[in-house]
Structures are given as C-alpha cells and as structure tokens.
Structure 1
Amino acid sequence: MEAADSATNNSKDTHFYGKSRAENRRRSDAMLLLFRALTFSFSLAAVVVMGTNRYRINPQLKVSWYDFEPYRYVLAVNAIICIYSFVETWLAVYTYLQGSYLLPEIFQVWFDYGHDQGFAYLLFSANSAGVAMAQLLQSGNTLIHGAYHCTEAGGYCTQARVSIALGFVAFLFLALSSLLTGLRVARWYLR
C-alpha cells in the first residue's frame, strides 16, 4: 500500500522530462540569478562608460555626456536599472539559497514581473533615444556645441555608442528575466 502511495506522490511531483518540480524550480532560480547578475553588470558598465564620457575639443571647450539630454536619459535610466537589478540579484540569491521567497509568494512574483516589464520598457526607451542622438551626431545633422563634428571630439561619440550598446545588452538580460518571472506568474496561477 505504501509503495503505491509513494509511486502516486512521485508521479505528481515528477515532470514529464523526469525532473522533479523542486529541481526545475531550482534551475529556474539559478537562471534568474544569472540573468539578474548580468543585467546588473551590463547596466553598471553602461553607467561607468557614459559617466566617464568627457573629451576636450580645444583648451577652452570640452564636451561631456550631460551636454545632450538623451545621454542624460541613458545614464539616469541605466543607473536606475543598475540599482534595481542589484536589489533583485540579492533577492535572487536569497531565493536560490533558501528555496523560498523573501516576500509572500504572490506579491513577490507579481512585483518581479511588473517591475521587470516596466524597467525593460524604460531601458529600451532610453537606449533608443541615445541611438537617435548618436546618429544625429555621427551624421553631422547635430553639431557638438553648434560647431564641432564627432571626428573633432576624439572618442566622445564612440564612447557614447558603446554605453548605449551595453545598455541594450542589459535590456536583453532584463527581458529574459521578465520572461522567467512571467512564467512564474503563470505557474502560480496554474497550480
């Protein structure tokens, strides 16, 4: 009788690929931790690269990231994403190590999913604005301080584009995190 009960319990706990739900959840937690850590790393790199983007055009004139509003937007949003992903990384570490959520489960899954979605859209918006500004500067349609092309500003335009590219990579990992948290929301309702 006990053998039949344990076989029934195992069949409920075993996924059709042969992995238990606990193993699948642990793997999902590990992937989410990885995506969150990568989001943090790339957004931090984008902040550092954009924040150090200053070049002297001539002895009296220098150009910096804060001279253009889209670049300020890129830096601010990447800084917000950096802080958010840092907090979420530590929540993911806690979840991975403890096997449970820090907050009540329904609140945690919706909090993660909603914020991942919102911040992913915000990050994509900021990087898109940065790309538009970089294109205008590169094409010469917008001049630095009204008189200088990108070629006269050293690596200023290149460094801005690198920061934007790092922001897009951070967006990619944030979008993957959002996908995983969306699956968690769906799993919570399908139990």
Structure 2
Amino acid sequence: MMSGRKTGAEVGIQLPEAKVAAAVETGTMSGPLVTARPDHRSGGIRRKTDVIHLVLRMLCLLTSVTAVSFMATAKQAATISIYGFQLPVYSKWSFSESFEYLVGVSAAVVVHSLLQLLITLSRLLRNSPVIPSRNHAWLIFAGDQAFAYAMLSAGSAASGVTNLNRTGIRHTALPNFCKPLHSFCDHVAASIVFTFISCVLLATSAILDVIWLSKY
C-alpha cells in the first residue's frame, strides 16, 4: 500500500514556489536551474566611461584643430624702428622651426583624435564596448601618452620663441617685436594655449585608459 507520506526525492522536487523564489532572491540556491541576474551597474559604469571617452575625443579634436588654425594664419607685415631706422618687417609662422614643429604635432593629434572619435562613435552606435580588449587599451594608452608629451614639447618650444618676441633681447637695442606685430603674436599665443589644452585632454584620456586597465 502507498502511504500518504512523500519520499525525500518527491519533497526535493516539489519545493513550494515561494521558497524557490526566496532562495533565488537571497542567493542561497545554486545549480543549473538557477540563473544569476546580470549586473547592470557594471554595464552602466562602462557606458559612462565610453561616453567620457567620446567627449574627450571631441574636445581634443576641436582644440588641436584650433591650435593649427591659429598658427597657420599667424603672419603680419609692419614697420619697426631699430637704431632710429624704420625698417619693414614681415613675420610668418613658417619662419620658425618651433612653430613648424607645433603645427606638425598638432596636425598629427588632429588625425589621431579624429580616428579615435570615429571608432568610438561607431562602437557606441553599435552598443559595443569602446575598448574591447586589454591589448586595445594598451595601444590607445601608448598613443595618448605619446601625443600628450609631444604636444607639451611643442607648446614649450613655441612659448620660448613667443616670449623672446614679446620681451626683446636683453643688452641690445632689439625691440619688442610683438608691438608692431601684435596680430601675429596674438595668433601664436592663442595657438600655444590650445596646444596645452589638447595636452591636458590627452593626458586625461591616458589616465582613463589606466583606470580601465586596472578594473578590467
């Protein structure tokens, strides 16, 4: 005869639905029948990081293009007085190797920023991670760091020439060239400012790359 009592196997199979749900909620039940809930917080943090990368690329592209534009348009003709003689002078950014170096580095940063911006934007539109692997992260970090140092070097070199133009040369009668060539010097100064801003943005992007490498 069959008794009214249930066997151990039957009890294990016929667990009340309320208890199963409670076990899943508290995380005390495991096995093939229980599926772990996805961690939406990690995906949200990564999404915010991707958006920050996109914003940094856009800002770096704008500042580097502005730096190139100001320097490439830095030219002016004027008259200057030396030892009582009025002499015509003409200044252009291409006359200085430091300014040419700044234009070259800034142009390279424009290409780098535009390329990274397009890659980042395409990945965001496809809802895929901007940095898909650690190797990719290391590659971006190396590029951002190298260009940040290059922009810092170019801005520093151009600053030295600009400061000489503004102050003149000590112990000689050579004047402050930026007085008659104020438009030229203003363009150069603006270019240098945006060059340093681009350097800061690239350094910030490199820091984000390091943070990503430390977490993933």
Q: TM-score range by the shorter chain?
A: 0.7 to 0.9
Change (3 A) 1:56 1:26: same
> Is the 2:76–2:91 contact (alpha carbons within 8 Å) kept by the matching residues of 1?
yes
Percent sequence identity over aligned pairs: 25
Match of 1:167?
195
Which segments of 5 or more consecutive residues in structure 2 lack a partner in the other structure? 1-19, 28-35, 80-86
> Is the 1:101–1:108 contact (alpha carbons within 8 Å) kept by the matching residues of 2?
no
How far is the alpha carbon of 1:105 from its aligned partner?
A: 1.4
TM-score (norm 1): 0.83
Counterpart of 1:51, as a letter, is A
Give the helix-richer structure, 1 or 2: 1
Alignment of 1:44 onto 2:65: yes
Alignment of 1:89 onto 2:117: yes
In structure 2, how many angstroms separate the alpha carbons of the residues matched to 1:3 and 1:91? 45
Counterpart of 2:99, as a letter, is Y
How far is the alpha carbon of 1:148 from its aligned partner?
A: 7.1
Counterpart of 1:121, as a letter, is Y
TM-score (norm 2): 0.74
Counterpart of 1:89, as a letter, is L
Match of 1:13?
39
In structure 2, how many angstroms separate the alpha carbons of the residues matched to 1:96 and 1:164? 32
Q: Which is greater in Rg?
A: 2
Alignment of 1:67-146 (within 5 A): 67-101=95-129, 105-141=133-169
In structure 2, how many angstroms separate the alpha carbons of the residues matched to 1:68 and 1:132? 11
Change (3 A) 1:138 1:4: farther
In structure 2, how many angstroms separate the alpha carbons of the residues matched to 1:185 and 1:103? 10
The aligned length equals 179
> Is the 1:94–1:101 contact (alpha carbons within 8 Å) kept by the matching residues of 2?
no
Q: Deviations over 1:42-94 (max 9, x none)?
A: 00010011001111125975210011111111111111111100101111112
Change (3 A) 1:64 1:7: farther
Which segments of 5 or more consecutive residues in structure 1 lack a partner in the other structure? 15-19
Runs of 4+ with >6 A deviation: none
In structure 2, how many angstroms separate the alpha carbons of the residues matched to 1:92 and 1:155? 38
Aligned-CA RMSD value: 2.5
Q: Deviations over 1:106-155 (max 9, x none)?
A: 2211111111111111111111111111111111029xxx8872212231
Counterpart of 1:72, as a letter, is E
Change (3 A) 1:147 1:138: closer
